[in-house]
Amino acid sequence: MAEKKSVRTEFKEFVLRGNVMNLAVGIIIGGAFSTITTSLVNDVIMPIVGMFLGGLDFAVLSIDLPSFTGGDGTVLYIGGFILAVVNFLILAWVVFWIVRAMNRLSEKPKEPEAPPAPPEPSAEEKLLTEIRDLLREKK
């Protein structure tokens, strides 16, 4: 009969498995990298883009929507959304290149293929070869 493990022992085995630890490290590094790309987008890229668009500040970019009830209108803040999309695209681009590099590093080198065997002679060629050999023997 199999020995029953305690929940503590099972949890310890689960946490110390390589995959779980790799995932935890990836999440921590991903969070830190996300902070860096957010700063890159907000503090470097979008101010430069805004400069070419007449000093537009994407952080406060909004559209006033009309009110249908007679009160104050609603404000649609699209600047933050644009910043988030640009941030996502940069993160996705970087992750793509990291995964691509890791896949290339993990590929096994391909073994050179043996040259293909010469094609088998057709029945007609075999017959002609036999006739040639017989003619040589008669000389």
In tens, the pLDDT along 13-25 reads 777 776 777 778 8
| In the chain, % of residues over pLDDT 70 | 96
Q: Let me know if 25 is exposed, middle or buried by CB neighbors in 10 A (0-12, 13-18, 19+).
A: exposed
pLDDT of residue 18: 66
Q: Could you tell me if 59 and 82 are in contact, meaning their C-beta atoms sit under 8 angstroms apart?
A: no
25-56 per-position pLDDT tens digit: 888 888 888 888 888 888 888 888 888 888 88
Q: At the top level of CATH, which class does the domain 1-66+74-107 belong to?
A: mainly alpha
What is the per-residue DSSP string for 4-15? PPPHHHHHHHHH
pLDDT of residue 49: 84
Q: Is the overall model pTM greater than 0.85, yes or no?
A: no
Structure tokens at 13: 């085995």
